Structure 1
Amino acid sequence: MHNTVYNPAVDNREYFNSIYSSPPNVSFPNRFVFGIINTFEDPITVGLSNTSRLLGKAQGFDVFNSFTEYTLFHLFTANVTEGKFKGTIDIFGQMREADPVRYLTVIGGTGAFLGARGLATSRRVEFDSTPPAKWTFSFDLELYY
Structure 2
Amino acid sequence: MMLARIIFCAAVLLATLAVILLALVSPVPERKPLQPWLDLSLYIQQPHIASSNAHQSVAQSDPGAFIFHRKLTEGPENTSRVVGKAQGFIIPMEDFAQSAFNIIYLTFHTPEYSGSLSVQAKHVSRKDTEELTVMGGTGSFAFARGLAVFAQTDQQSSGVESTYHVKLQLRFPNQSRTTVG
**TM-score when normalising by structure 1:** 0.72
Q: Report the residue type matching 1:136 in the other structure.
A: T
Corresponding residue of 2:58: 17
Corresponding residue of 2:171: 144
Q: How does 1:56-67 map to 2 (within 5 A)?
A: 56-66=84-94
Corresponding residue of 1:95: 124
Bigger helix fraction: 2
CA shift, 1:92, in A, is 0.8
Q: Report the residue type matching 2:75 in the other structure.
A: G
Q: How does 1:33-112 map to 2 (within 5 A)?
A: 33=63, 36-66=64-94, 74-93=102-121, 94-98=123-127, 100-112=128-140
Bigger strand fraction: 1
Q: Report the residue type matching 2:139 in the other structure.
A: G
Q: Is the 8 A contact 1:5 1:18 kept in 2?
A: no
Corresponding residue of 1:3: 46
Q: Is the 8 A contact 1:118 1:141 kept in 2?
A: yes
Distance in 2 between residues matched to 1:56 and 1:140, nearest whole Å: 15
Q: Is the 8 A contact 2:137 2:143 kept in 1?
A: yes
SS where residue 96 of structure 1 aligns? coil
Distance in 2 between residues matched to 1:104 and 1:128, nearest whole Å: 24
CA shift, 1:129, in A, is 4.5
Distance in 1 between residues matched to 2:48 and 2:80, nearest whole Å: 20
Are the structure 2 counterparts of residues 137 and 112 from structure 1 closer, same or farther at C-alpha, using a change threshold of 3 Å? Answer: same
Report how many aligned residue pairs link the two structures. 122
Are the structure 2 counterparts of residues 5 and 50 from structure 1 closer, same or farther at C-alpha, using a change threshold of 3 Å? Answer: closer
Identity %: 26
**TM-score when normalising by structure 2:** 0.59
CA shift, 1:90, in A, is 0.5
Distance in 2 between residues matched to 1:86 and 1:66, nearest whole Å: 35
Structure 1 residue ranges without an equivalent (≥5): 22-32, 68-72
CA shift, 1:121, in A, is 1.2
Moved over 4 A (4+): none
Larger Rg: 2
